[in-house]
Each structure stands twice: as structure tokens, then as C-alpha cells.
Amino acid sequence: MKLALAADHGGYELKELIIGYLSNRDDLELIDLGTNSCDSVDYPKYGRECAELVAAGQADRGIVFCGTGIGISIAANRIKGVRCALATNVFMAEMSRKHNNANMLALGGRVLSPEEAIAIVDVWLSTEFEGGRHQRRIDLLD
């Protein structure tokens, strides 16, 4: 799976931690879209760039990071075909995949511990979409 990752300054450290955690997985090809420091940048640019890759099929899924995950999830969801879910716990991550077929995940670098973020990412990457009645609802979004 091709997985694109992007962050603003508020999510930079968590992005780096997740990239380090996932870097040894043979089933993932990671695409790091930046930012590459804690210097202030604008989250809409990074959310949009990651979402555009996912929407175009150049990445299978994406994970975006900002201070809370809120702003960058809004930016990503402006792109047609993207369903970016903000998750602050494992249950939200699981449901975002099972019921919403979320192709992007947003995480907050200032609201999650490293352990929480890793657990969320693990569940989000491993959970399959249930389809059925949920597909009908996703079709209504697009």
C-alpha cells in the first residue's frame, strides 16, 4: 500500500514518529510530503497536497497531522473523493474504516500521546471496510 503522510508544524513531530514506526513495514511504501521542521507553515497546503495524491490514486491512503487534526482534516476533505477522518481514539479509527471507508486519517500532534497515535494508526491500517449499507451512504457523499 502506498501511504502518503503530511503535516504542518504542529503535527511535524508526530508525523516523524509515525514514519519511524511504519518505516520497517514491507507492505507499505511511505510518501513523506513534509513539512520537515517545526517552523510555522500553513496546514491547508499540506492537507490539500496529500488529499490530491489520494484522490488521484497516486497514494492508496493518507495520514495528515496538525496540532489538533481538525484544520488539516478540513483541508483534506475539500478534495472530491477524499474521506478524511479525525480520530482521537482507536474506536473512531476503527469505525472510520468499517463504516466510512476513510481513505485518509487526521491526527493531532498536540492532543495524542505517541502510544495513542500508534494504536490509532495500527487499527486504521488493519481495519477493512464493511461495505453493504455503508457503501450506499458513501455514494451519497460523492
Q: Which residues are catalytic?
A: 66, 99
- Looking at the chain, list the stretches that DSSP marks H as alpha helix, in order from N- to C-terminal side: 12-22, 43-55, 70-76, 90-98, 114-126, 133-141
Rounded distance, CA 15 to CA 33, Å?
Answer: 10
Q: How many CB atoms lie within 10 A of CB 71?
A: 21
Cα separation values, 54 from 5, 37, 38, 64, 110, Å: 10, 23, 25, 12, 25
